[in-house]
Amino acid sequence: MSWWDRTQSRLIFQSGIGFVYRQLFMHPPPIAAGTTLDGQTAIITGSNTGLGLEAARQLLQLNLSRLILAVRSRAKGAVAAEALRHEFPHAAQQIEVWLLDLEDPDSVSAFAAKCDQTLDRIDLVVLNAGVQNKDAVVSAQTGHEQTFQVNYLSTVMLAVLLLPVLKVKAGSVAGRPARLTVVTSTTAYFADFDHERPILPQFDADRYDVTKWYAREKLLQMMVVRRVAALVDPDQVIINTVCPGLVGETEIWRTLNTSAVLRYLFSAYFALFGRSLAEGASTYVHAVVVAGRESHGGFLSEWGVRP
Ligand SMILES: NC(=O)c1ccc[n+]([C@@H]2O[C@H](COP(=O)([O-])OP(=O)(O)OC[C@H]3O[C@@H](n4cnc5c(N)ncnc54)[C@H](OP(=O)(O)O)[C@@H]3O)[C@@H](O)[C@H]2O)c1
């Protein structure tokens, strides 16, 4: 990360001029009129709520033909799917709820296998599911700290398992590359590690800190995507990362804004520095539909592609 990237991040996140900067310069690029996803199949993880659900809506608005909502709760997924079916009757028969629990590696591999075995084509994948916890939680299945398991280990595992499937399911069917976008965050710019010790064990061994862990996990996502992209032909699959910007109308803060006072402070903060849910989710659409080879391995930050 360059000095300028770091300075912009600090200005935007930590000072009052962030508000003006955001309003003037940080709107996601519009999606060109006439863009259509007719005939295409998309998968979005964590799509029962928040940015994932809104991204699903926006892809369906572009005439997406088939949508897989990859969620950990069948009940929540059913509610989201019903709302989408009601709003988009053209795809009603083709909006499906598939279970995926990123705390459980068996669920991740079963999900990838199901994609391989049952989908004729896969055009777009958005790995959006993520979690932020106020306090440390240990994942029962793996013994890893939960945010590390969900945001980093399982998200990367799913990306790696899906890549060979995507090569076959889009390229040969549609004659163009499949697209895989991992949702990360500009907070990665603030990540720091103890570089004297192996990095990954620090997530489980050290004292949990929500801000530090989240920034580190998001940075590692970007690094892995960058390395993996070097092994993937962008004529087969374009893989990138995207930050939706600061969006208050989601549930990511559910363990943090637990009192009326905190909720009030969070709302004031988002009103000043945040963007709308629709604007945030449109960054996903841009990353997975519009951005091309120039984004392969790169990070679609709030200021454009960082190769
Ligand atoms: N909101 C922001 O300002 C912001 C900024 C930068 C990046 N992001 C990133 O954007 C993504 C979406 O966040 P959001 O703000 O929309 O949050 P959200 O409303 O809390 O949505 C998160 C989604 O992830 C799912 N999820 C959590 N743990 C899971 C697991 N173990 N297995 C499968 N799914 C799981 C949630 O399912 P349940 O509903 O069942 O828990 C939910 O559907 C995240 O990756 C987040 O880090 C958000």
pLDDT digits (tens, 9 = 90+) for 222-263: 999 999 999 999 999 999 999 998 898 898 888 887 788 888
Q: In b/e form, how buried is each residue of 75-110, taking b as 16+ CB within 10 angstroms?
A: ebbeebbeebbeebeebeeebbbbbbbbbbbebbee
Per-residue pLDDT, 75? 98
Q: Which of 189, 208, 218, 284 is catalytic?
A: 218
For residue 21, pLDDT over 90 is answered with no
pLDDT band at 26 (very low <50, low <70, confident <90, very high): low
Span from the CA of 95 to the centroid of ligand 1 (angstroms): 20
Taking CA atoms, 94 is separated from 88, 159, 260, 284, in Å, by 10, 23, 40, 21
* β-bridge pairing 41-45 and 304-306: unpaired
The pLDDT of residue 4 is above 80? no
For ligand 1, what atom is nearest to the CA of residue 45? 34
For residue 187, the tally of other CB atoms under 10 A from its CB is 20
The per-residue pLDDT for range 117-133, each reduced to its tens digit, is 999 999 999 999 999 99
Q: C-alpha distances in angstroms, 35 versus 97, 126, 181?
A: 25, 18, 18
pLDDT tier at 266 (50, 70, 90 boundaries)? confident
* For residue 55, pLDDT beyond 90: yes
Name the closest-CA residue to atom 25, ligand 1: 46
Percent pLDDT > 90 in the chain is 70
Whether pLDDT at 93 is above 90? no
Question: Is 218 among the residues known to form the active site?
Answer: yes
The model's pTM:
0.93
Pick the catalytic residue from 169, 214, 264, 269. Answer: 214
- What average pLDDT does the structure give for the chain? 90
Ligand 1 geometric centre to CA of 150 (Å): 10
Least confident of 87-91, 156-160, 298-302: 298-302
Ligand 1 centroid to 51 CA: how many Å? 7
